[in-house]
Amino acid sequence: MAKDKNKRKKGSVIVLVLVFSSVFLIALSGLFGYILKQYSNSKRLADKEQALHIAESGIEYYKWYLAHELEGKSEYEQEQYWINEESIGIAEPYIGIFYDHQASAIGSY
């Protein structure tokens, strides 16, 4: 009969260990899920902010473009202005490409 009690105690310890470890794993997986969700949200917000800055720089560039005495000139004259302007050096005034630190394109306006 004494051996029977020892077997029951050993079995109950295993059940307690399994219950507590499963509760711990469920809580830990919930915490990891929360952390991953926060990371993806912050990445999404950073990408949204970057896109906003690129678009805003396109607006600023266009305002600068309009301020360069191109009023009254034909399309051909404006194109010749951009092609012949050596200090600017670009033929298409409406395309600007943004690069990251590794020199890969991340956006354009």
Kindly state the DSSP code that residue 85 receives in the 8-state scheme.
-
Average pLDDT over residues 29-58: 95
More confident site: 95 or 47: 47
Residue 37: its pLDDT value, please? 98
Residue 52: its pLDDT value, please? 94
**Bridge partners of residue 97, in order along the sequence:** 108
Residue 28: pLDDT band (50, 70, 90) is very high
**pLDDT tens per residue across span 66-87:** 777 666 778 887 777 767 655 4
Q: Residue 55 is part of which domain span? A: 2-108
Tell me how many domains the chain contains.
1
Q: Which two tokens stand for residue 87?
A: 């200090």
d(CA 75, CA 84): 14
